[in-house]
Amino acid sequence: MLKYLMMIVFLTPLCLLNNSWWLVHSLMFLSSFVFMICVYSYCDLNMISYYFGVDYFSFSLILLSFWICSLMITASGSVYLSSYHSNFFVFMVLFLLIMLYCSFASLSLLSFYIFFEASLVPTLLLILGWGYQPERLQAGIYLIFYTLFASLPLLLVLFKIYSYVNTLYFPLLFDFGSYYFMFYVFMILAFLVKMPMFLVHLWLPKAHVEAPISGSMILAGVLLKLGGYGIFRVMKVISFLGLKFNYFWLSLSLSGGVIVSFICFRQVDLKSLIAYSSVAHMSMVIGGLMTMNWWGCMGSLSLMVGHGLCSSGLFCLSNIIYERLGSRSLLINKGMINLMPSMALWWFLLSSCNMAAPPSLNLVGELSLLNSIMSWSSFSFLVLIFLSFFSAVYTLYMYSYSQHGSYFSGVFTCSLGYLREYHLLFLHWLPLNILCLKGEYFYI
């Protein structure tokens, strides 16, 4: 397992070379294929060392990190063409990938916490360094303060746990029972802010709107999944209180998902709409994890992987239009089927995946989560009906408004799309739909 980490580490010196952009890009794709083929993830834990190991849950998310980071470099062609610190940009992507690999492979709560927080640094630098507007500074402050404010109590809890049991090694930790209610709240809150849950989600639309395409892709594709992965890991420690109090988070996230769906109807900013739709999708993931049953955990994993590919692809589509028209507004980006007819097909394919139409992986995840949440309480179907229906409504609203109708009179002509862009969208869409055929992988 260590050899795959070393493979990424030894790619970093290539950033010092001129014109190494596509070399690093090709090697990252190669390393993701090598990782996918050579790692046997069906066993309990594929150990790297005492504190690092990979199981099926972390394997899926590490592979997603490899794939999204490779596609980030493909999508950021404007950085390469403008030569705006392109070598440093590639270094940031590689550094972020190393942090994500280490956080998903950590078997110690403390090392997981360190890498979990360290992944914020390159993300912040991507937003501040390659963002588009001066407001990116405010978005960066929102990102840091929301996540750090919720994460510092978690660090105190980890120190307290270590003082009791002298280890933070995942397989050796046990349930602390009903003694420490604050343990439960602090441990779970840090990850709920990261996902994000409704009421602590305001940093996400701001960060997405101000981030460059690479920042939006990694934020929607992988960084939100760190929260879900963290909840999956710490549920073992807080399962006793979880059985008593998880209903609160579950109810809040599901009802919040419906409210966020209504907020999506009022968005005219394309990136903001996709960002809010991420909050609605993640609310179902929180619901599945809080039920603490196998259907919920495995459904959450498949929806996280599916959403990571789908939302990342939608951000790529919005960026393709932004690079041509210089606007994210739906009032200007309308009737695009007249200007870019070939791209309208990709808008339809990824929009249909976003509303969990077959044969996308999102469908597998949502069906499992519906099963899981309904087994927890049959009354939850009232909320789940609205959540599933409205996700289709705002996705169709986004697709029909951006593609159909008359185009903006200020637009005269634009490029139909480059091969790089179609290649990028195909590499989002293909695994998203092919993985549906391998659905049993998520239900070991």
pLDDT tens profile 382-397: 999 999 999 999 999 9
Per-residue pLDDT for 271 more than 70? yes
Here the tokens at position 279 are 């909050």
Tell me the whole-structure pTM to 2 decimals: 0.95
* Residue 56 CB neighbours (<10 A): 17
Strand partners for 54: 46
Angle at 277 between CA 276 and CA 282, to 5 degrees: 100
**Cα distance between residue 249 and residue 253, in whole Å:** 6
pLDDT tens profile 272-293: 999 999 999 999 999 999 999 9
Angle at 411 between CA 409 and CA 412, to 5 degrees: 105
pLDDT tens profile 201-256: 999 999 999 999 999 999 999 999 999 999 999 998 888 888 889 999 999 999 99
Number of domain units in the chain? 1
Which has the minimum average pLDDT: 101-105, 309-313, 340-344, 435-439? 435-439
Per-residue pLDDT for 43 more than 70? no
- Relative orientation angle of helices 361-376 and 239-265, to the nearest 10 degrees: 120
In sequence order, what are the residues at sequence separation of 6 or more whose Cβ sits closer than 8 angstroms to the Cβ of residue 44?
A: 55
Nearest Cα residue to 128 out of 92, 98, 97, 99: 92
Query: Average pLDDT of the chain?
Result: 91
Band (pLDDT 50/70/90 cuts) for residue 54 is confident
Please report where in the chains the tokens 């507004």 appear, as a residue: 329
pLDDT (mean) for 348-359: 94
What is the model's pLDDT at position 146? Answer: 94
Band (pLDDT 50/70/90 cuts) for residue 5 is confident
Terminal-to-terminal C-alpha distance of the chain: 21
Find the domain containing 50 and state its range. Answer: 2-443
pLDDT tens profile 114-134: 999 999 999 999 999 999 888
In sequence order, what are the residues at sequence separation of 6 or more whose Cβ sits closer than 8 angstroms to the Cβ of residue 90?
A: 14, 15, 20, 21, 24, 73
- State which amino acid sits at residue 296: G
What is the model's pLDDT at position 53? Answer: 86
What is the model's pLDDT at position 143? Answer: 94
